[in-house]
Structures are given as C-alpha cells and as structure tokens.
Structure 1
C-alpha cells in the first residue's frame, strides 16, 4: 500500500469538514491531489467545462446550502480563471475554499512556465490566503481556510505547490513550531445590547408610516420579519438578494426595490417616515427615502455594515432572527390603519400593472409573460438560479416564489454566466428536487452552453431528472442596450449589442436533452408545463422582444423614460417599435 502523502491529507481534511464534492478542472499542478481524490472515493469530483464555472458552482453550493463550497484548479491560467467566481462569492457573502496548485518550490521565482504570484493574485479576493510549504503546515492551513470562509462569509485560498502535495504525510509531533488544529467551527449568535434594542424600539414606536427593507441577512428569519411587520403595520420591500426570504403573497409585501424593482416598493420607500433595514446593503441608494425624511433603524450581523447605505439613528448589531425576537416585545403595536390601507393599495395596483404588462403584446413574446406564466406553475420544492441581464428585471417583477423556495443569482458582482453553474450546484446538492435556471441568450452564449455538456453528462444520476433551462432569446444584450439609452443618451450600437442567432433547443437535443422553441405567446404556459413534467433536462427557447423597456419604477422612471425616448429618436425607424412600447409602459404606470 503506498505511503500516505500530503495530498491524501488534503482529502482527509475535506472529509473531516463534511465536504460532499469538489468542483474544478484538473492540471499538472493539482494532479497529485486528483489522484488522492480517486483513491479515497469519499469526496466527489465535479468536472466543469471551465474553471470560472467551477468557481460559480462552488459559490452556488455555498448559497443554496449555507455550507462551504470547494473548488480546485491548477496554477497559472487555471487559478486566474477562478477569480470571477471567487469575487462573486466575496461580494455576496458566500463561504468558499479554493485549493490551488502551484509549480514546485524549487522553481518559484525563476519565471517558470505558468508561474505567477498566486498569493498576490488572490490578495484582494480572499479573506484568507496561504501558500503551504511543508506537509506539517497543510492541516492547519486547510482548517484556517474553512474557519475563515465560514466566519467572514467569503473565499479562502490555500495554495499547495506540486512537490508539497507529493511529500509524505506528516506525523505532527508535540513540539515547538508544530501546530495541531481541529476541523471544528460553530456559528455564534449575536444579540444587541438591551439599551440598543430599546433605542431602536423608541424610533419604531414613534413612527406612523413604517417600511421594512429586507435583505439576504434575513435568511432564516421570515417568521420574525412578518411578526414585526404586522406589529408595526409596516410594508415590506426587499433587496434583490432578499427577495426569496419574504413571502410576496402577503398583502403588504411590495416586492423588490431599486432600478429593477416594483412600483409598489418605490412608493413604499418614498413615502415612509420610518425605515427598518434588516440584513441589507442594497446599493440602489437613490430609491431609499431621501436622507432626513425618514428615521432609520438597521439590523446587521456585521457591525461595520450599519449606516453604510443610509443615515441610521439606532443600530442593532446582531443576527436577524434572535434580534427581531428580542425587539418584538418592545414594540407598542399601534399600527396606522391609513398607512396600512395605502400600502395595500400600492401592492394591489402593482400586481394589476405587472399582469397587464405581462400580457402587453410584443414581437413575438413579451419576456415579462414568460416569468409571469411560471409564477403559478413553480413547483413548491424547486430551486431557482437566475442569470444576469434583463432576465433579472422580469424575475424581480413577475415571479412570485412559493414560500421557502431558494433562488440565487450573482447579486452584487452581477456577473453574466452564473445560472447554469448555480443550477448544477443546486441539483447536485438535492438531486431529488427540480431545478429551474433562467438566462438570457447573452449569458447562455457566454458560459452556459458549455455547461449544458455537464448537464448532459450528469443528469442520468439524478433521482428527479427535471432540470429546466429557460432562455430569453432576444438576440440582444438588452439590459446594456437600455442602459445606453437611459444613462448615456446613446442610441443602440448594433456591433456591440447584437447577439448571434443560435438554435438553443436544437443544441440541447444534440446533447441528448429535450428542447423546444416557443414563439407563440399562447404557448408559453403549456411549454412550462411540458418542461416541468419532462423525464430529462429540458431547454425552453422563448423567442422574446428585445424592445420591451427596462423602465425603472416611477417617479424616478419618468425622467429616465424621457432620456430613453431621446436616444430612441436617434435610432430612426429601427427605434419606433421600442418607442411605442415605452410610451405604452409609461401610460400604464401613470394610470396605475
């Protein structure tokens, strides 16, 4: 039997931390570790088509499970490719550990092939980074990486030179200079001080028009959020990342805030006199109440996050659920009936407007309708992965998730190409539950098409084969096109914005999956039903209209619409269809 190597110790440490799978791509700098994975057979290896996608998978695993996602790559280009997915994990607070190979220590500093300074490369993205130069240091470095990733909610990087992986496993003696660590970590429960709770309660009890802004920091606190909202008679808006953690069927749930958000959220935040921010650092500050118009309380597990988006009068450093539990008895519970009625009316008006927009004729399919039709058909036990682009707007505005459904996207980095890797991570974690991925054609061409090969490779292993890919095929980088019109006053630039035609459904069938092209609005609902009942992964290629406007909520959206129309005027005849749709959307908004 071969002698245990340092690479075997790496696998044993993964086992000790309860890691079920490692995402990645092989290469000479990490091949000794690959051999150890093969010999052990206890930790699955998931081969992505590209290291960036592997890092997205690790970030997705962390987001869906709350546990550490692990990714591996070789040195040089493999390590560089990891960066985008690692930054996604950093900016969205997802714990990830990257195990990165490196050239042997004997050649470092020589300008050797594929030699780059990996510690420097990872300096900004990693909450912990360490090159391991001895077998004795390896268990300690891996333990530190897992603890740092979980504590700081971000990526940690362990760099292991090729020759170190080959070293004999070290027997850690009880002597100076040798650290024996343990693979143990437990979360702490943070609670604010009593005086801070009372100060927050005083602000909230004095309010009459109260709004809650709920972010992903409220994960696991849905019941407490609802209880506080009902006690205060408050309306609830969410950040994009907070959307899955509030039941949007509630009569006072105004939906997602911000540029891509709902009109109801804009009215709620624009008219409140008191704001309670729960676990959110949403950057759309122009959609917050004007500073000085609302007194504010903020709850966040990270004390450094309090007051960084909006002036706060009372800050509560603590985890959302126990902090809200402690706050609730201090709230007087004298809601303003008139405010409740106004909030309820805004929510009702928005729901009517969103349905009218979904059914607004377009050429050929309005993309809002695609997500609207999914809303009533979304399986209770499914998970959702959403890509970046115009599809995020329709997700935020049209899709009402069943209570408890997990939905994730690259929220803060906003990186295209995340949806299929995320969906694969979600499916591998729970292969007996359906998964739905929503992507634009630009994002799918950027990264998703290659990972459909991975889907085709793996799906027969899944207890429930339902894996539905929705492609909003508008032949356009639509979000950027509308950003050019809105923010730059520039007409559409065909060379930068047009996306090549591609037979997405045919490609899926070529891979042994099912695929269907849909260009009739009346077939959108039946197409969803067919895909959600399929016995293998199913790609829905919805041919949608790129000229459906990405109009921000009013009143902010009115000025933006004028800028859009000015840019569309420069497009001449090609912009007339978009201009008519924009006029129609503005009228719908003004009429409520």
Structure 2
C-alpha cells in the first residue's frame, strides 16, 4: 500500500506535473523518497535557496500555464518560500507549495522548527491544508492541485514528517471518506460575457473617436484577436510590463510600455484618449491611466474581482481574452479615421529616436542602455527573456525590442529583487533547447548569487547580463524623486561576478568600455552553457519617467545638492534625452 508521500507524488504525476523545484531537509524526507522512486515520471530540480524554488515554480507556471510546484522542509525552509509565493499570488500564477513539519505529536510543543506553516501561509494561499494522515492526503492532494489551477493562486500542503511515511492502510478512514471520491482532473471551463454586456462594450468603443488599448499578461495568447481589435478601432496598444510579449515591440499598433518604465507615446495616448479598452491587465499605477471623467472604460478580464480595480469602467467583460475579443470584434465597426493612431505613432518614432540617443556607444563611463541594446539584438527569435527588479527592468523594457516568438517574464505586482535568475532557470527547465537570457542588476543578482550554480548544474543555455554600477540605482532615484531626499544607503560593495561565474564552473565576461561591447558580446554568445556578462556602467545614469511630473522635478532639485555624485548626475541630466524628459 502506498504511503502519504507516495500518494502525493502519484497525484502530481496524474495532474501532469513534470517537475518539482526544492531543497531537501529532514522534515520532507518522505516526499523526497517518493520523488526518488518516481524520478522516471517526475523530475526534481535542486535549488540553493527555497526562495528560488518558489520563484521558479511561479515562473514555470507563468511560462507554461501549467501548475508550478515547489518543496521545502519544515520551519525556515517553509518560511523561505514566502517571497516567491507572494509573487505567484499577486501575478495569479498557479503554484502548489509542499512543506514538511515536525512529528505530528510534537506540534505546538516548542520542539525544533516548530512553526505552524499553515498559519504562516494563511494570507498567501487560496488553499491551505495540514495533512492529517494518508487517507486525508488522498483527498487534499488532488483538491490542492485543482484549486491552484482554478483560482490561479497558491495552494499549500503541510505534512508532518512521520505522516509522510504512513501507509494508507494504517489510516483510520472515516465512514464518509470513501476512496477516490475527490476530483482527479481539471474541468477546463471558460466564462463568456453575456451578449448584452458585449453590446454595451461595443457601443462605448464604437462611439469614441480616440480609443487607446492597455494590454497585460492576460492578453498573452490573444495576439491575433488583439491586433484585429486595434485595426478596427485604429487604436494604439500600450503594454503593461507583464504584457511586453503580447505584441512585438516593432508592431505598428503598439506604443510600447506604460508607466515610469514606459514610453512617451503610451503616456500621451492615455492622456488624450476618449475611451480605453483594458485587456488582461491590472497595471497598478493609477496615475498613468486617463484622468477621471476624460475617457470611458471597457475592461476584459477572466477574474470578475479585477474588473474596475484601477479605472472606473462602464462595461466589464468577464472571460478569456481571446474568446471575448473575438466576440467583441464582431460588434465593432471600422473606424474611418486613423488620425489618433498616427499621432501616437509619430510620438513613438520620436521616442525611439530619444532612446537611440541614450544608447550612446561612445560615451564614457559606459552607458547601460548601449549594452542592453546590443545584448537584445543578439537574442535568437525563440529566446525566453527574464529580468529582475530595478534599473535593469527599465533597460529591458525600453531597450530590448522583443520580436514575435520571444517570451518575457518578471516579478510583476510584487516587483521583487532576486527573481530574474530564478525565472531564467525555470525557463530553461520548462523549454529544453530554447535559448534563455536574463538582464539583472548587481543588487538583485548578489542576493541569490549561488543560484547561478544551479544553472551550471542543469546546463541551462543562459546568457546572463549583469548591470554592474555598484549601486541600487532605482532606489537612489526614487529617494530623490519621490520624497526629495538625497540618495542614502544605496552604494554596494563591488563583487567580481565574472570570476564568481568561473568559480562555479561557467564562463565569465566583463565589459568596461564602449569599444568592448561588440567583441565581448560576440564571444559570450558563442560560448556553450551558462555565461555571466558583467557590464560595468555609469552609476549616475538617471532612471526617469517619460515625462517628469512637476512634484518629482521639484523633489529632485531639492535633493540634488546633498546627493553624492551631484556633478556627474548634473552632467547626465543635461544630455539628451534626459534633458527633454526632465523638461517635458
């Protein structure tokens, strides 16, 4: 008879789970043994830190649409998962977290690692269960998988170490717990809006003359339908960061990103539209939406809870993005004029010219924009690109143009540092044979530096660009712009990341001057296996919104006299395009 751990792993196999990310420990040994004896059916990827396991499970779910699974031992092993699990919660990724516990009859007796992880995970999880015995596991394991997928969130199972090894026959099954009465597969149903709701949405959009579209991660997989919508409405498509891959960055209808990391064209589209269609996005920065009373709103989302969350829409369409757009497009009439779209396209052309100015390959100290542009140009057409949180996110958003067939991922609503490397490793596990790339900062990379050895161990074909400025650059600029405070506490002790990569058995490269960009990148991209490319760049390069709000400009001028590196910062903001962005 199978024991509780074997029932759990067999359930994962039945739910088509192919990989579990985790770190062994004595509190989870029963599950590890079940994985060992079933390693021909399900893979175990050993990480160096449980936080990375959770990030990888979240990223795997985002990349594939399948259930991501992570595993950790009792106590601190389980608590280490939390950051990555909150990433999954906030970005609606289906993840199952499995944690161990101390012996079942020592719970709440102050024994070693006596942490009630079900209580700890209560906020992060949509399903959260302490497994009582093997008969209970038969019920809850399948229900946890189903709930994570159905509710697009985190499910958690906490299992005492001795319960993991308890055989089903030893369980005292209650008379109402009949074997195999719980769901063993997923019911893949889709919501669709009612005709009256679709008619109302179409009337709003048909009646407007300047429609702007905001597309997010929920529109991934609906590119053809979204393109038809944009053509019918002659509407520019602004992309939230998680929706960067919805349409290629050179697509004539897109105006690129939105927000502080976005483009001037997207901002002006939102400032001048008279209707906005939001597709699969709850982009959190309300100040970048149309002003109250300026535009009418329509929103498409698979989750009714998300409708009207950021912008007061008049028509909320709850359903799958592709199916809903197809139904909506049948009700839309072709706009006779493309004047609004052309204005946005003209602004986008100007924005691209501004970005080329910032990518000055002759400037010294080395400009990070120039390195990011050259890095992005070398990515293969089927590359999976991840980034971390910080200035490196802005570089990926603005200076790497995604092409059709490429994928993009990042910690979205949580915006956590230390996610980029884990996301990239998960991509390599999810898509064997596809090229994988990541752009990270020296701050975030240092947090999980040892995890690069995981990429080496599993032979991930990873090209990892580290933006090294020995500074938490985004935080420094936020201190100045948001509050008017001088930069403080953001300087970092330098680390030789190229040597660290070599110490872990990989290749390390360094770029320090503009004339090294092309040759070093060519050599790095020709190298087999994972590589680190360390780009030593200007620590005082500004990170600015497409238009500097008046309060930001005032705060910045207040903070600048007391900020270290003031002279260098002044030189940089006097250059284009920073000067135009500051004066906009």
Match of 1:576 in 2: 567
Structure 2 segments unaligned to the other structure (5+ residues): none
Give me the CA root mean square deviation: 1.8
Match of 2:56 in 1: 57
Match of 1:168 in 2: 167
Please list, as runs of the form range in 1=range in 2, the aligned pairs for 1:316-331 lying within 5 A after superposition. 316-331=317-332
**Cα separation, 2, equivalents of 1:26 and 1:174:** 33
Match of 2:20 in 1: 22
Q: Deviations over 1:26-60 (max 9, x none)?
A: 11110011112112222211111111111111111
Retained in 1: the 8 A contact 2:367–2:538? yes
- Secondary structure in 2 aligned to 1:330? coil
Q: Deviations over 1:472-493 (max 9, x none)?
A: 0000000100001111211121
**Cα separation, 1, equivalents of 2:324 and 2:493:** 51
Retained in 2: the 8 A contact 1:208–1:335? no
**1:225–1:238 Cα change, 3 Å:** same
Q: Give, in angstroms, the shift of residue 360 of structure 1.
A: 7.0
Q: Give, in angstroms, the shift of residue 334 of structure 1.
A: 1.8
Match of 2:455 in 1: 455
Tell whether 2:435 aligns with 1:443: no
Match of 1:483 in 2: 478
Retained in 1: the 8 A contact 2:274–2:296? yes
The 10-residue stretch of structure 1 (183-192 or 218-227) with the greater mean CA deviation from structure 2: 183-192
Tell whether 2:228 aligns with 1:233: no
Match of 2:522 in 1: 529
Match of 2:193 in 1: 192
Q: Give, in angstroms, the shift of residue 390 of structure 1.
A: 0.6
Q: Deviations over 1:529-556 (max 9, x none)?
A: 32222112111000111211111111x4
Match of 1:474 in 2: 469
Q: Give, in angstroms, the shift of residue 590 of structure 1.
A: 7.5
- Secondary structure in 1 aligned to 2:470? coil
Q: Give, in angstroms, the shift of residue 411 of structure 1.
A: 0.8
Match of 1:183 in 2: 184
Tell whether 2:541 aligns with 1:540: no
**1:265–1:361 Cα change, 3 Å:** farther
**1:170–1:370 Cα change, 3 Å:** farther
Count, aligned residues: 580
- Secondary structure in 1 aligned to 2:97? strand
Q: Give, in angstroms, the shift of residue 335 of structure 1.
A: 4.0
- Secondary structure in 2 aligned to 1:212? strand
**Cα separation, 1, equivalents of 2:336 and 2:96:** 46
- Secondary structure in 1 aligned to 2:386? strand
Match of 1:551 in 2: 544
**1:360–1:492 Cα change, 3 Å:** farther
Q: Give, in angstroms, the shift of residue 78 of structure 1.
A: 0.6
> Once superposed, which parts of structure 1, at least 4 consecutive aligned residues long, lie more than 3 Å away?
170-175, 360-363, 556-559, 588-592
- Secondary structure in 2 aligned to 1:455? helix
Match of 2:300 in 1: 299
The 10-residue stretch of structure 1 (3-12 or 274-283) with the greater mean CA deviation from structure 2: 3-12
Q: Give, in angstroms, the shift of residue 179 of structure 1.
A: 5.1
- Secondary structure in 2 aligned to 1:245? coil
Retained in 1: the 8 A contact 2:256–2:263? yes
- Secondary structure in 1 aligned to 2:9? helix
Q: TM-score, normalised by structure 2?
A: 0.96
Retained in 2: the 8 A contact 1:362–1:548? no
**Cα separation, 2, equivalents of 1:530 and 1:491:** 40
Tell whether 2:501 aligns with 1:501: no
- Secondary structure in 2 aligned to 1:379? coil
Q: Give, in angstroms, the shift of residue 371 of structure 1.
A: 1.7
- Secondary structure in 1 aligned to 2:115? coil
Q: Deviations over 1:76-119 (max 9, x none)?
A: 11111111111011001111001111111111121211111211
Q: Deviations over 1:400-420 (max 9, x none)?
A: 101131111111111110111
Match of 1:434 in 2: 435
Match of 2:557 in 1: 565
Match of 1:462 in 2: none
Match of 2:579 in 1: 587
Q: Deviations over 1:528-585 (max 9, x none)?
A: 332222112111000111211111111x44542342233112237x211112212324
Q: Give, in angstroms, the shift of residue 243 of structure 1.
A: 1.1
Q: 1:37 aligns with which of 35, 41, 60?
A: 35
Q: TM-score, normalised by structure 1?
A: 0.95
- Secondary structure in 1 aligned to 2:212? strand
- Secondary structure in 2 aligned to 1:112? coil
Retained in 2: the 8 A contact 1:466–1:533? no
**Cα separation, 1, equivalents of 2:170 and 2:275:** 60
Match of 1:4 in 2: 2
**Cα separation, 1, equivalents of 2:336 and 2:356:** 30
Q: Give, in angstroms, the shift of residue 363 of structure 1.
A: 4.0
**Cα separation, 2, equivalents of 1:558 and 1:379:** 41
Q: Give, in angstroms, the shift of residue 257 of structure 1.
A: 0.5
Retained in 2: the 8 A contact 1:97–1:156? yes
Q: Give, in angstroms, the shift of residue 513 of structure 1.
A: 0.8
- Secondary structure in 2 aligned to 1:350? helix
Match of 1:88 in 2: 87
**Cα separation, 1, equivalents of 2:518 and 2:206:** 46
